[in-house]
Each structure stands twice: as C-alpha cells, then as structure tokens.
Amino acid sequence: MKILFAASEVYPLIKTGGLGDVMHSLPSALAELGDDVRIVIPAYESVISKVENIVDAGEMIVQGSGRMHQVRILQASHESLNMPVMLIDIPVLYSRKGNPYVDENGHNWVDNAERFAVFSRCVAMLATGQADTGWKPDVVHCNDWQTGLVPAFLSQYETDIKTVFTIHNLSYAGHFSYATFEQLGLPAEWWSPDSVEFYGNFSMLKAGLIYSHWITTVSPSYADEICTPDGGNGYDGILNHLSYKLIGILNGVDYKIWNPQTDEFIARHYSLTHQRIVGKKENKKSLLEHFDLPDTSAPVFGFVGRMVEQKGVDLIVSVIPHLIKHTDAMFVLLGTGQLEYQQQLQNLAKQYPERMGLSIGYSEEIAHKIEAGADAFLMPSRFEPCGLNQMYSLKYGTPPIVRYTGGLADTVVDANDETIKNKTATGFVFNKIDADELLQAINRCINVFKKEKLWGQVCRTAMQQDYSWTHSAHEYEKLYKKQTTSGL
Ligand code: ADP
Ligand code: GLC
C-alpha cells in the first residue's frame, strides 16, 4: 500500500515530544512490512539543515491567509529514516528558528492558523497529484490538529484516497476565530456545527474528526476516556457520535533507538540477560556524575518530559520535600515547559543540591541517560494518551511510577501482593490525581527497592515486556484496508 504520513514533527529531524517519535517509528515499521511509505512535514529551517539528497519534486500555488503562496515540494532522505521525506517549502511560514509551534518566549506563533491550514492544503494537493511528483498515496494518515484540515480538503476532491486521523493529544485542538476562518478562504459551508465550527470558533482537530474515514487514538484506554465528559475536552459528544469509526491502537516503541543493549548515549550497555545489574550500576554512577551528585545506593527517581499540567509536575514538586526529609530518595529531572513549574523545581534543586539534579532544556542524550541510570521513573500524568517514556523505562529495567490513566493504565502492572506473587508486576500505579497517592506509590516503590531479590524480579519482568510495533503496525494496515460502515 502507498501511505503518506502527514505531521508537524518527525524524529530525528524535528521533535518536541512523543509525536515526533511515533512519526519515525510507525512509518518505519510499515515500510519494513513492505508498504510504500512517505512522510510529509513543513520545511522548517532546522530540518533543511539535517536532511540529505534534497531534490525539487514539484511546485504549486496555494491559498494562504489573504495571500497566495508559491510552494516548492522537496524530496529528501535521512540515514535513519527508511522512507523518503517530502518537505513543504514556504520560507515565509516555516523557515524560522526554534520550536515548530511557539516562539522563543513560549507563545504560539501568531500565524499558526495560516501555517498549518496551508500545510494541510498542500498535503491534500500533493496527495491528489497536483504537484505532479509521480507518486500518489492510497492512504493519507494525518496526525493531530496541525493536519486536521487535510481530510476536509480531500473531501472536496473526487478521489478514493482513504484518510486516517490520529489523535495524539486531544488537549491541543487548533481553535481559531471566525475572522481567521474567513481570511483563510475556507468554504463558507464549513461554518456549521456539523463541520468545523466549534463553540463559536473553528477547530482544525474537529475537521480531522468529521472528514476522516477513520479516527484512531494512541491507546485503547484513551479511546474510552475521550468519549467521556471528563476526558473529552468538549469533544466527547462528537466522539460518541463518531464512535463507529474511532479505535484505540497502542503506540509501539522503536527498540533500535530505545534499547539498553545498543543505546549510543549510555555509559554501559546491558540487557535482561547480560550485565543487567552491573550495567544499571554504572549508568547510575554516570548519571549522578553528570548532575554533580554523589554516587549512592539510595533509590534515584527520574523524570523526563514536557513540564506542563498534563504531566503532573505539580505533584512531583509537592512530594519532593517530604521524600527528601523522610527517606534517602534522590531525584534527577529533565524537561522544559511552563515557567512556574520550572521555577518551583529550580528552587527545590537549589535547596537540596546533594539530593536533586535538574536540567531545564531539551536533550536526547540526557533523556537516554536518565532511562538507563535512574532506579525508577516518575510519570504521574493527569492524563496520558499513550506515553512513551513509561514503555522506554520498562525496557531499561527502570520501573515506572504512573497514574492509572490512558496508555499508562494499558502498559504498567502495579506491584501488589497478587502481581508480585504471580510475577507480573512491572511498576507502581496510583489512582487519584493527588500528591498523597503519588507519595504512597513512591514509598511502596522504595520498600520493594530495598528488597533486592524482589526488586530484581520487578525489573526483569519490566524488561521482558514487548511493546515493539509488530502488533500495532498490523492493526493500522488492517484499518487502512477496511471500509467505514456508516457515516461517510
Ligand atoms: P508527550 O508526547 O506527551 O510529550 P511521550 O511520553 O509520549 O509524551 O513522549 C515524550 C518524548 O519526548 C520521549 O521521547 C521523551 O524522551 C521526549 N522528551 C520530552 N521532553 C524532553 C526533553 N526535555 N529532553 C529530551 N527528550 C524529551
Ligand atoms: C502525545 C501524548 C502522548 C503520546 C504521544 C505519541 O504527545 O501526550 O501520550 O505518547 O502523543 O502518540
């Protein structure tokens, strides 16, 4: 099958979170199954400097916000991607430094509506052969709100191209005003509750939901949660209505990148059967050294992630002082995000320099070092569509401490009397969004950590889990071929 992935990020060209990882690993897994896969992303400045073998693949004129854009389609490659990368090159929209979504002060780029509406128009035109690249997909697989308008634009063409729209995170929806809707020259009939209108604005995410043949999201539990008022962000009504075409497919992990046996960033390689104990020890030592912390046999808790409300950073901030006072726990954290969380963590790191290491920033290298060097991994998310870090942690023998939500609930087995007895425990799970519950889970973890044999068992079971793409990539293949039964 010919599959075109449309997204706003792909590792290692540009990544801010799990979407980038999945846009690398899922297309790669499908290409390995024999599908003819391509990915299309905007030609951000940093991407142009990373790709190789750039060739001109076509040109188009595309409507923007009250202006027209001359677009170059580029085709390129990268050694770590086993598929061609198509780039939508419009320098005035994409050639700027920094993050794909926000400026250096963390504010959304003011022209985001135009940037991603135009990107979506280009993808639809590219797919229907208007840039004449000589390649036409059977399926266009769109991801998150930045590509939500692609199925809507495609619905305007006489075409049998199938569209799949994947929700990676419902809390980012791409809402814009009626004035923006008009400036973008979107069809007037789309301004309707049955189309892209959403509580007086228009929603690019809703366009993806309404006009795609299939909606997927990245774990079965999250697929259920988003159909409820608590987890639906205002979209639960629409999603219930469209539930005939909604399915949850768990993300996979690319074990070529996230594997302690081959990881290029870590101090010592190890696996379930080779040097596990000594490997963990040396990686812990090297991690602590990196953060100028003393080597220790005390438990080290790691965190890597976007420091936003979703990730429960406030809960971590609440429990650290108590744990430092009452236990020998240490902490190593990496991330960027909301200033208030960064500042609170910086204050704690200043207060407890011997017990806590903090890196505010983005670093693939430190992220891998934390997975390998920490004893346990903190992920107390308020909600988590899938979550990749907990699956990486399992592979690295670093049991995750997670809240029972979304993909975390689908991938981590709580260590309780029963699961310890039947040897299925892989981590520590708590229920309520509550600092005391997190504290209890961490204390349970510390108790198991102190019992060497038991701890070894939980770590080994964690490492045995297989979340590779094999199963989920087949699920997507089946879906690409399946007809939707009602609705469209
Ligand atoms: P989300 O997509 O919600 O951010 P995931 O757990 O699915 O959460 O994926 C996060 C990905 O981004 C992981 O690969 C993680 O290692 C990476 N990541 C997040 N923040 C950072 C950071 N500050 N430095 C390096 N990698 C990061
Ligand atoms: C989103 C979600 C995360 C998921 C990732 C990849 O960013 O927050 O839970 O793992 O997308 O699908």
What gap in Å lies between CA 386 and CA 388, rounded to an integer?
7
Compute, in angstroms, the gap from residue 386 CA to the centroid of ligand 1: 12
- Pick the ligand that lies closest to the CA of residue 248: 2
Compute, in angstroms, the gap from residue 151 CA to the centroid of ligand 1: 28
The percentage of residues in the chain with a pLDDT greater than 70, rounded to a whole number, is: 99
- Per-residue pLDDT band at 74 (split at 50, 70, 90): very high
Which atom belonging to ligand 1 lies closest to the Cα atom of 386? Answer: 7
Tell me the C-alpha to C-alpha distance, in Å, between residue 70 and each of 59, 155, 361, 444, 445. Answer: 7, 23, 36, 60, 57
Q: In the structure, how many helices (H) and strands (E) does the chain have?
A: 19, 18
For strands 68-78 and 81-89, give the pairing: antiparallel
**Stretch 45-53: mean pLDDT:** 95
- Per-residue pLDDT band at 486 (split at 50, 70, 90): low
Compute, in angstroms, the gap from residue 119 CA to the centroid of ligand 1: 24
Residue 165's DSSP bridge partners are: 142, 215
With a 6 A CB cut-off, is 45 part of the ligand 1 pocket? no
- Per-residue pLDDT band at 488 (split at 50, 70, 90): very low
**Stretch 290-312: mean pLDDT:** 97
Of 165, 261, 260, 144, the C-alpha closest to 214 is: 165
Which two tokens mark 301? 């808790």
What gap in Å lies between CA 413 and CA 69, rounded to an integer?
51
Compute, in angstroms, the gap from residue 309 CA to the centroid of ligand 1: 14
Q: Which domains does the chain have, with CATH numbers?
A: 2-252+470-481 (3.40.50.2000), 276-466 (3.40.50.2000)
Distance from the first to the final alpha carbon of the chain: 22
What gap in Å lies between CA 130 and CA 363, rounded to an integer?
39
pTM of the prediction? 0.97
Compute, in angstroms, the gap from residue 171 CA to the centroid of ligand 2: 11
With a 6 A CB cut-off, is 16 part of the ligand 1 pocket? no
Which atom belonging to ligand 2 lies closest to the Cα atom of 222? Answer: 9
What gap in Å lies between CA 43 and CA 74, rounded to an integer?
8
What gap in Å lies between CA 206 and CA 196, rounded to an integer?
6
For ligand 2, atom 5, name the residue with the nearest CA: 18
Which atom belonging to ligand 1 lies closest to the Cα atom of 168? Answer: 2
Looking at residue 260, what DSSP letter applies?
T
What confidence score (pLDDT) does residue 105 get? Answer: 81
Mutate to test the pocket of ligand 1, among 222, 306, 334, 394 (most ligand atoms within 8 A of CB): 306
What confidence score (pLDDT) does residue 220 get? Answer: 98
What confidence score (pLDDT) does residue 485 get? Answer: 65
**Stretch 442-454: mean pLDDT:** 98
